[in-house]
Amino acid sequence: MNKKKTQEKKRKTQSDYIPKFMEWGIITERNFKGMDTYDIPIKRWDPLSTVSIKSKDFGLREEHRRLYGHYAYISPIRGKRPKGFKAQDKKSELLDCSEQILSKTKDVFMSITEGRVIYDTDEHPIGDGYTIIICEDNKRRDNPFSSFPHKIQKVPENTKALTLINRYPAMARIIEKDVMETIEESLPSHLRLARGINLVTISRNFYPSMCFNLVPEEVLAGIFISMKESILYCIQEAIQRDYYDIPVSPFFNIGMKVGGSQPRLHGQIYIDLSMDGHGSRLEGFLEAFKQMGDTCHLCKTSHQNSDRIIKKSEYWTFYTTGSPVRNYHIRFHPNEHIRRFSQLNINQISDLAHNLKIIFQALDDIEVDKNRNIIFNCCPFHYDANFHFFGDIIPHEVIGGAEMADDMRVARKLPHLTAKEIRKAIK
Ligand SMILES: [Zn+2]
């Protein structure tokens, strides 16, 4: 294609849509007009639990002060995102995992995947179809720092997954220079602008997230593959823009009760570009692996003979953790000592999809709450740290009271007995 044509095509796709304040994490002079400083997404470190990291510990650069502790992202725009569930959905069809609901259900992502606006039964449009797409399966599309949402063509049916910039993120991705100066001047010194990239990876075709048994293994693997490639693409582009020491958190919120605002199966990734440290949980993991040195707890053979093992395959080990944060809290790790989600190879990814489906089915069979989180714990990019990448499956449970006060939880089931129960359900 010649240059002129390319430019023309670019103009056409670099759309007519002007992002409203903070949509896709974009803050411009134009959309910031009339906004208050407190409308920006904020990252706030809790002064009562935050301390400096001795940066030499993990090979961090000395220029910035780094912290670890408890922090919160506060992003007013997240309250404005569309609700993917209607009141009547809660109990009814999205929990009924029968094949018919696949053809019936329409959601906001359909206006993106179908390349045209989709209408609900009352003829109201569901979403407008504008998006910024990072990867289609593992094929790279828009630049992770693009500020041009656009409509895409109908995505081929054989595509497994798409990774998009989250339209209603917790962090700002692009901030025009002048606005940045205004924000820096007016923001109190104990607050900071939350910067980063929030991604959402969806299946191309609709699968309800609560019905893991309906999701084909290759689609689940496709979601992981698209997440992996998108992380690599974002990090590569972030480095070119002088970002470094980057925590990356991939996770799944499955079900409304655990934060899943959309009925379609989707993974998410938080890429924090604030360059100011990491949370206490990660600090605990980093320090623990540091102390283990060459005798990694997850690589050790004694652990592999434990009666808490649920399933062990060529590539993965699943077990109930001895210190559960909820009943049926399951931990899993690749048998290979790798540090990050983005280092998973195709065999590990396919095998993970295969085994997760089996485990989820077993949990369904023993009637564990279908609202579940999957959290992937990764070593941040550029940290010089020993780390064995691992995941947590945490089913929803109503808890409360003082049992949540410290980094402490109270569970009622013995982990080795839960493991036995799940093992039995698998067979
Ligand atoms: Zn290890």
Cα–ligand 1 centroid distance for 300 (angstroms):
7
98 near 120, Cβ under 8 Å?
no
Work out the pLDDT band at 58, boundaries 50, 70, 90.
confident
- The confidence score (pLDDT) of residue 1 equals 45
Residue 59 has pLDDT above 80, yes or no: no
Cα–ligand 1 centroid distance for 143 (angstroms):
34
Residues 6+ apart with CB under 8 A from 289: 296, 385, 386, 387, 388
Cα–ligand 1 centroid distance for 426 (angstroms):
26
Classified by CATH at the fold level, domain 23-78+99-426 comes out as HIT family, subunit A (3.30.428)
Residue 376 and residue 158: Cα distance in Å, rounded?
27
Cα–ligand 1 centroid distance for 377 (angstroms):
13
Minimal CA–CA distance to 169: which of 41, 317, 55?
41
- The confidence score (pLDDT) of residue 427 equals 77
Mean pLDDT of 18-44: 93
Cα–ligand 1 centroid distance for 322 (angstroms):
18
Cα–ligand 1 centroid distance for 389 (angstroms):
8
- Segments of 127-169 assigned E as strands: 130-131, 133-136, 139-140, 150-151, 161-165
Work out the mean pLDDT of the chain and round it to a whole number.
88
pTM: predicted TM-score of the whole model, two decimal places: 0.92
- The confidence score (pLDDT) of residue 230 equals 98
Minimal CA–CA distance to 262: which of 342, 315, 200, 204?
200
Which residue has better confidence, 217 or 9?
A: 217
Mean pLDDT of 178-187: 92
Mean pLDDT of 3-30: 75
Give the best-scoring range by mean pLDDT among 6-15, 375-384, 397-406. 375-384
Q: In the chain, what percentage of residues exceed pLDDT 70?
A: 87
Work out the pLDDT band at 91, boundaries 50, 70, 90.
very low
Cα–ligand 1 centroid distance for 304 (angstroms):
12
Work out the pLDDT band at 398, boundaries 50, 70, 90.
confident
Instruction: Write the pLDDT tens digit of every residue in 122-162.
Output: 888 888 999 999 999 999 999 999 999 999 999 999 999 99
Cα–ligand 1 centroid distance for 299 (angstroms):
4
Cα–ligand 1 centroid distance for 332 (angstroms):
12
Cα–ligand 1 centroid distance for 343 (angstroms):
14
Which residue has better confidence, 383 or 120?
A: 383
Instruction: Write the pLDDT tens digit of every residue in 265-316.
Output: 999 999 999 999 999 999 999 999 999 999 999 998 655 568 999 999 999 9
Which residue has better confidence, 349 or 398?
A: 349
Work out the pLDDT band at 77, boundaries 50, 70, 90.
confident
What residue spans of 168-259 are helical by DSSP H? 177-186, 217-240
Work out the pLDDT band at 79, boundaries 50, 70, 90.
low
Minimal CA–CA distance to 193: which of 132, 273, 78?
273
The number of beta carbons lying within 10 Å of the beta carbon of residue 245 is 23
Residue 209 and residue 267: Cα distance in Å, rounded?
10
- The confidence score (pLDDT) of residue 11 equals 47
Cα–ligand 1 centroid distance for 274 (angstroms):
28
Cα–ligand 1 centroid distance for 285 (angstroms):
12
- The confidence score (pLDDT) of residue 18 equals 93
- The confidence score (pLDDT) of residue 424 equals 95
Mean pLDDT of 188-210: 93
339 near 376, Cβ under 8 Å?
no
Mean pLDDT of 413-418: 90
Tell me which amino acid residue 234 is.
C
